[in-house]
Amino acid sequence: MIAKINKYQIDLSKPIDISIPLTNTDENPIAWYIEKPIIEPVVFGDWIGKVSEGKSSTNFNNIFFNPHGHGTHTECLGHITNDFYSINQSLKEFFFFAKLITVEPEKIGEDFVITKNQISALLNEKTEALIIRTLPNQKDKKSRKYSNTNPPYLAEDAAIFIRESEIQHLLIDLPSVDREHDEGKLLAHKAFWNVKDTLHLNPDARLSATITEMIYVPEEIEDADYILNLQIASFENDASPSKPILYKI
């Protein structure tokens, strides 16, 4: 099926899924010092909600997971504010013009950092969403255990540049845009959302802007412009597991 967005055409039968599925196996990626997700059947006495157990006509599972630590997720500024803001209320449109760029974080001290210069060299035209793929781009990003590994992150001035470039939706293949151990500063989150005080939100904070973390963009997907379909579950929470889909223009 061919769809037309403005003057551009996309083939809806050829989606490019850049999300990481959530599983209850050791293949699930993990960040922030938690254990893997739990997916298990409901049990009432000797009744088990699993068809293969022979005691149920349906599979009836409970799922326990953390959107921030267990895979691809999209978050709003409610992730860092005293007052409650919901991703379900913040994200009201779902199709965007997007640009995919590939960056090799620079070694700065003991850290690997995505810098403003790297972003500005690659972001030379306006777009609504920016997708950052980092190098090296091993497939084990889909199952990596990130806790206490000091993953690469986004420099504060890079996040400011992205905000000032009017990017509304930032997607990255790391567990956070910020340093793992940063004493709660959250410099890149605050810079992107333009949050100056997490206790008293400033009027120009970016309520509709989102950050999507822990994506995976395969090697064969070229840096280019795409149409992004950013799908979330309807959770009234600061973040939701998400399924970003790209379409070639």
* pTM (2 d.p.): 0.96
Number of domains within the chain: 1
Rounded CA-CA distance 189/187 in Å is 6
Confidence of residue 168 (pLDDT cuts 50, 70, 90): very high
pLDDT tens sequence across 118-135: 999 999 899 999 999 999
The domain that holds 192 is classified in CATH as 3.50.30.50
Residue 31 lies inside a defined structural domain of this protein: no
For a pLDDT cut of 90, what percent of the chain falls above it?
95
Confidence of residue 5 (pLDDT cuts 50, 70, 90): confident
Task: Please state the rounded mean pLDDT for residues 78-83.
Answer: 98
Residue 43 lies inside a defined structural domain of this protein: no
Identify which has the larger pLDDT, 128 or 4.
128
The beta-strand segments (E) located in 6-114 are 8-11, 16-17, 38-41, 43-44, 47-48, 61-64, 73-75, 95-103, 106-108, 111-114
The position carrying tokens 């403003």 is: 116
The chain-wide mean pLDDT, for the chain, equals 96
Sequence letter at residue 63:
I
What is the 8-class DSSP label of residue 239? E
| Partners of 38 in the β-ladder | 64
Residue 96 lies inside a defined structural domain of this protein: yes
pLDDT score at 8: 80
Residue 238 lies inside a defined structural domain of this protein: yes
pLDDT score at 1: 74
Residue 51 lies inside a defined structural domain of this protein: no
- The reply to whether omega before 136 is within 30° of 0 (cis) is yes
Show the domain range for 15: 2-21+68-248
Residue 39 lies inside a defined structural domain of this protein: no
Task: Please state the rounded mean pLDDT for residues 54-62.
Answer: 95
Residue 87 lies inside a defined structural domain of this protein: yes
CA angle 192, 241, 67 (to 5 degrees): 80
pLDDT at 7 over 80: no
pLDDT score at 20: 98
Confidence of residue 34 (pLDDT cuts 50, 70, 90): very high
Residue 144 lies inside a defined structural domain of this protein: yes
